[in-house]
Structure formats: structure tokens, C-alpha cells
Chain A
Amino acid sequence: MTAEATNIRPSLFQTDARTKRRNAAEKRFRLYGVAAVSFGVLALVVLLSSILGSGLGAFRQTFLTMDITLSAEALDPKGNRDPAEMAKQTTITYGKVLGAALEADLAAKGLATEGLSAKEINGMISKEAPAQLRNMVLADPDLIGQTITFKALANGRIDGFFKGRVTMESAALDSNVSPAQLELALAMRDAGLMGLAFNPGFITAPDASELRPEAAGLGVAILGSAYMMLIVLVLSLPIGVAASIYLEEFAPKNWFTDLIEVNISNLAAVPSIVFGILGLAVFINFAGMPQSSPLVGGLVLTLMTLPTIIIATRAALKAVPPSIKDAALGIGASKTQTIFHHVLPLAMPGILTGTIIGLAQALGETAPLLLIGMVAFVRDYPGVPPEGLLDPAAALPVQVYNFTQRADPAFIERASGAIIVLLVFLLMMNILAIILRRRFERRW
């Protein structure tokens, strides 16, 4: 009696030692949670700001405009305006024409070029520009003899100067650009002949070599990734869903199906490079499919994505209440009818979410592509499917990897830019998954 009496709290408003301890523990746990979340958010902010900070520049590029007279002597020495004949003039000839034209144009516009050699003036124009001009002239031979206003990419170092990557001090040490060139660039900007503008080429243009980082783009990589995702979707969704329905609803429960189940779960955890080795051995060496093609890439990624989709689909099928199934069977529907009319539609949001998450994972994968020859320099766009699936292509994560390996510092910006594009695609896919789930999800 007396012991119990002392335990009785005198008042609800006065907390005893044990309650205080419990409350403190509660508070501590909440703090841990807040700390964990804020650490995560901080990491994300640092990551995003560093990527955005160094990558957004890739979407803007320095262009220069110049008036250029396309002389027939240099570009069509035979004078017959026959594109086949004119194709003999290589980009090297066009490069010289461009350099001379820029020098003449600057002189005509009263910009001082003293102290700069012809080579240095020519060096301010991107090496991509001669190819652009050549394609323009070959497509329309009548341009010869005319004076046109030509908008060309500026060299990567000049571009770096306007973006703050190159300074007068660093240019003095740099063997690829001189302070005099930067002075001229400033004068050209003041004259309105040079400036930063939005660069759609970064999204649409193909990769470029180390001599012209300013022209490198993601066109081939985006197409390659899209083709692969198409193959993954077309193959892994039906196969995955069919396998899960069979395993979940029809297969007898015995040691064999147990074995399959364990293997599927294990496959989901297999490192992706293993699928690359498999792809090389089976699809390229045995089946003789072409290297570097989105088809082989898509097949390898399909193998990698299948376990993810099967696991998600089976979970979604399991989540459909048995009462619905029983009711359908009870009024005389066959098992197939029950599944296709009632269970599958109800499980669809879960299946689609799983599929999209599997696809997003496949989109960001580089390792298996390394072995099947997709980590490559590819400049030609793949053709229209289905034939295009056999043409060589790159992929977005591969392009990021390739850019980071190049010597020219301008590629660092492009690697971050490519990451931004990849993140945007992933974000869109995840948003789609959320929308689908929200739209079709039913609760019981």
C-alpha cells in the first residue's frame, strides 16, 4: 500500500522522472529524423547546385557573325556549280576561306587586328564552322558569288572567356589562346558581332572531337537512349507481366517455382556489368548482331530490367484483394477472365510504376554498355527504326562519361550539361509514374 501510494503522481501537470525520460527520448528521436532529412536535402542541394552551376553554361554558346563573300575561284574552281565537283573542296579549303573572310570583315568594320596573325584570327572561329559552310554551299550552289551573313560558333576558349572559365591571366599561359585574341573578342562583342546566345545544338548536334568542344552536342546520345528505352519497354513489359501473372496465379507452388522465385530476386541484385558480359557473349559473338547498336543495348538493358518489373508486378498483383477475385470466380468467370477483367486492371498502376522505375534505372546505366561497344565516339545519327536500331549510337550516360575523359577543359561544362539533360529525363519519367499511380490507384 505505502509503496503504491508513493508511486501515485501528485498531479498530471507535474511530470515525474520516467515521463521526462520518455519525452526526452521522443524529442531526441525526432531530432535524429530532422538531422537525417536535412543531411539528405543538403547533399541534394550541393549536388544540384554544383551540376547546375557548371552545366547550365553548356546551353548557351558564343556565336560570331560575319559577312562572307563566297568566291567562285576558291570554292568552285571549275565554275560549273556541280555539287559533285564542288565536294572536292574540303573543309580545309573552307576553313581558309572563312579565316580570310573574317580578317577582311574585321578590317572593313574598323576593328583593329594588329599583332594578330592570320592563324590566330582564324583560330577564333570554331573548327565546326567550315563544315557548316561547306554543307550550306553544297546544298545550295547558287550561293557562290554572293555575300552572305554567316553565323558561326566561336572557338571554345573564346567561349570560355565570356563564361569566365578563361581569363586574361590564364590566356597568357595558355598555348591555345592569346590575350590579344581575347581583346579582339571583347572589341567584337562591343561591336555586336559576337555574343552568347541560346545553343540548340547542344541538344540536337552530334558529339564532336577534341578540337571543337564548342560544337559537341547530345543529339546522337538522346536518340540512342530513346531507341533503347523503346526496346526495353516493348520487350520487358509484356514478358515481365506475363511471367508474373503465370507465377502468381497459375503456377503450382512447388520446389521448382520456389527456385525460380529465388533466382528472380537474385537476378535483381546482380551487378549490371554482368549483363553486359552476357550481352557480348550471346548477342554479339553468338547471334552476330552489330556492335554499338541500340538493339543490343536495349536487349541487355531488358535483361537487367526484367527482374525489377517482375518483382513490382507480382507485388501489385498480390495487393489486389482476394475478395474481388473470389467474387468473379463465384459468379462463374473463368480464371483467365478473372485475371484479365478484374485483377490486372486493378494492378495496372503498380505495374506501370514498377516499369517506369525499371526504365529510369536502365536509362542511367553505363556499365553494361561499355562491353557492347556503345561507349564510343559516334557522330552519325542512327536511322529511323526498325533499321535504325542496328546503326551505331551512343547513350546519354555514356556521353557524360565520354565528355569527362576529354582533355579540353570546355568538356567539363558539357559533361555537367549532359547530366542536367539526363536528370530532366529521369525527373519526367518519375513524374509520369506518380501521375499514373495517382490517377488509377484505387483504395479499398
Chain B
Amino acid sequence: MKSAKLMTSALALVTFTAGAAAARDQIQSAGSSTVLPYATIVAEAFGENFDFPTPVVEGGGSGAGRKKLCEGVGENTIDIANSSSRIKQSDIDTCKANGVEEIMEVRIGYDGIVFASDVAGPEFAFTPADWYNALAAKVMKDGALVDNPNKTWADVNPAFPAQDILAFIPGTKHGTREVFDIKVLEAGCKATGAEEKFVAELGEKDGEKACLGLRTDGVSVDIDGDYTETLSRLDANKNAIGVFGLSFYENNTDKLRVATMDGVVPSTETVAKGEYPVSRPLFFYVKKAHLGVIPGLKEYIEFFVSDEMAGPAGPLAAYGLVSDPELAATQEMVANEVPMGELK
């Protein structure tokens, strides 16, 4: 008897929900875990100061966020994808196929990528060539490509201490890895002359790809988790060097010693001036069809790029975002709801 009653109430609940794909009144966004902290800071301030609900922010990675954005138009799809790398043509094609025609590309600022070791360890002054020689599968030696023989940092560069090479780098699913590949490994490959050799041996396309081949003898460890995992691995291996986002480093300066790159100390200032070489822009992508449908969406994106938030004195900069010198142009673009054009 009792269970019969419960059954009817359960059925009632199910029918109720089927009819109630009710209008969503909060903004939903997902994507890059690098952008996530910035997005939560803005969402929190937005919820406090506006008469709209606090937006929901999900992580999951840049690629996953863009894929979700492109699932279609409608209230059960997200409004904003946060991304630490630029959208790809394949994403745009998926979007088009699913009816998502117009997307707005909003650049919120820049993020630096830093190399840091335990705070008690020695100081390092790296160049991309040092990293290439330390981690690549094949390096140049006496004018020929050989399997990487370097065991300690002193082998790489006599100025470094004789400390075993051990590096924790982001796994391939991270947007950060892409930047590491291009700005560090490829640059180092070019600088050491290995790229020329690779291209001569394998041809243009395969030669450039070969630059990204890492040694597999355990000195380069891919971290698929986030920076907190890299930090705890550094804690266990005091000799190791890890790759972090600038904002993560700024929140853990008491535990980490940062290395310079090409002689430049990473900081929001040096990244903003373009002196520190390993940096990248951060974006979010807005589904234009949802503007005016989801309450507060326009206000939220305007608030995100406003001077109070994304400006040099705002809370995002305090957390480690390098604010965009062209923020005014972005603000105007957002105000006019200009969708992005073709990818260049």
C-alpha cells in the first residue's frame, strides 16, 4: 500500500519534470581551468552587485568547453565557453552544423606560464634552448642529431648546478601544453639548430613535428591534473622543476622559486609589456543567439571586461591576470555585440 502511494508520487514527479523545461534564469559557462578562477571571481561579484542570479561556472578544459558551446542553441546548452587557447576551425564547423551561427570572441587578458622549483632550491635562468636540450628526444651534438644524453642541468648548460633533470609539464589535454610546445620547445628547437636538421631529414611538416618529441626515459613527466598536483609532486621531489600558470605562482610565492626566461622575471608587468616570452591570451566565447534570451548575459560579459574587473587595478589583475592593453576595444566590441569573423 505504502509503496503504491510512493509509486504514484514518483510518477507525478516525473510527469511534472517532463512538462517543466522551465526558462533558465542564470547564465551557464564551462571550459578552461585556467580561466575558471577568473570567471568565478567575476561571477561572484556579478551576483553580489546585480539583480541577476550568480552565473554557474564549470571547469573541464578549453576543448571540452568549446565542444559544449557548439552542441546547439537552447536553454539546456551553455552560453559561454571559457578558453585558454583560440577557437579552432573544427569547433566553428561543429557549431555551424549544430545551428550555432554567430559566436563572439572576447579576449579578457593574458596569462604567463612560469617555470618554478622548490623555494629552497637554486636559482635558474633558462632559455628555450635549455629546455629543448633537457627534454627533447633528440638534440644537436657536434653538428648531428643524437639521442638526448643529458643527465643533469649542468650537462645542458655549464652555468647550471649539477642537479638531475626532472620536469613536470602539463599533459597534452591542457591548453598550457600547447603554449609550452610552441613558445618553449619549438623556439628551443629552432635556436639549437635542431629544427633545420629535422626539416632537412624529414621534410617541412614532419620536421617541425619532430621538434615536439620528448624523451621517454622518465625525466619529463606529464601532469594531467591541475597545478595543485604539480605542486605536490614538487614537494615530494625537491630537485624537480614544474610548469605553472603565473596566477598559481603568485598565490604560492612562499613555496615556489621562479626561474627567469631569456633573462626576464615573469610578472604581470613583464608579460603585459611583452618582455616575458611564454605567455598567451585568454578568451571566452559567447553564443550570440542567447543574448537577450538568458537574462543578464549581456550585462555579465560587459561586467567581465569592464575596467573595474579586468582593468589593471581590478580583482582579476590582483589574482594574476595580465590585463589587456586593448581592453577598450574589447569593451566596445562587446557593447556592439560584434560576432567574430573568419579565423586568420
B interface residue count range (under 10 / 10 to 19 / 20 to 34 / 35 or more): 35 or more
**B236 within 8 Å of A by Cβ?**
no
| Selected interface stretch from A28-36, A256-264, A373-381, A425-433 | A373-381
B9 touches A175 (CB 8 A): no
Q: Chain A 282-297, CB within 8 Å of chain B: the 1/0 string? A: 0011011111100100
Q: How far is the CA of A212 from the CA of B43 in the complex (A)?
A: 13
**Beta-carbon contacts under 8 Å, A231-261 to B:** 231, 234-235, 237-239, 241-242
Task: Across the interface, name the chain B residue whose C-beta is closest to A208.
Answer: B44
Q: How far is the CA of A49 from the CA of B159 in the complex (A)?
A: 45
Q: How far is the CA of A409 from the CA of B251 in the complex (A)?
A: 8
**Beta-carbon contacts under 8 Å, B27-63 to A:** 28, 30, 33, 36-37, 39-41, 43-45, 47-49, 51, 53-54, 56-60
B318 partner residues in chain A, CB cutoff 8 A: 211
**B343 within 8 Å of A by Cβ?**
no
Total number of A-B contacts with CB less than 8 angstroms? Answer: 145
With A176-B251, A234-B10, A289-B76 as contacts: A380 and B54 at CB distance below 8 Å? yes
Task: Across the interface, name the chain B residue whose C-beta is closest to A215.
Answer: B44
Q: How far is the CA of A434 from the CA of B226 in the complex (A)?
A: 40
Which residue from B18, B24, B33 sits with its C-beta under 8 Å from A405? B33
A235 partner residues in chain B, CB cutoff 8 A: 10, 13
Q: How far is the CA of A238 from the CA of B13 in the complex (A)?
A: 13
B9 partner residues in chain A, CB cutoff 8 A: 234
B181 partner residues in chain A, CB cutoff 8 A: none
Task: Across the interface, name the chain B residue whose C-beta is closest to A212.
Answer: B44
With A284-B76, A376-B56, A377-B56 as contacts: A241 and B3 at CB distance below 8 Å? yes
Task: Across the interface, name the chain B residue whose C-beta is closest to A127.
Answer: B315
CB distance from B23 to the nearest CB of A (A): 10
Please count how many residues in chain A sit with their CB below 8 Å of the partner chain's CB atoms.
Answer: 57
A406 partner residues in chain B, CB cutoff 8 A: 37, 228
**A92 within 8 Å of B by Cβ?**
yes
Q: Chain A 397-410, CB within 8 Å of chain B: the 1/0 string? A: 00000001111110
Show the binding face of A for B, using Cβ within 8 Å.
87, 90-92, 127, 131, 134, 166, 170-171, 173-176, 208-212, 231, 234-235, 237-239, 241-242, 284-285, 287-292, 295, 340, 370, 373, 375-380, 386-387, 389-392, 404-409
Show the binding face of B for A, using Cβ within 8 Å.
1, 3, 6-7, 9-10, 13, 16-18, 20-22, 24, 26, 28, 30, 33, 36-37, 39-41, 43-45, 47-49, 51, 53-54, 56-60, 71, 74-76, 78, 119, 226-228, 247-248, 250-255, 308, 315, 318-319
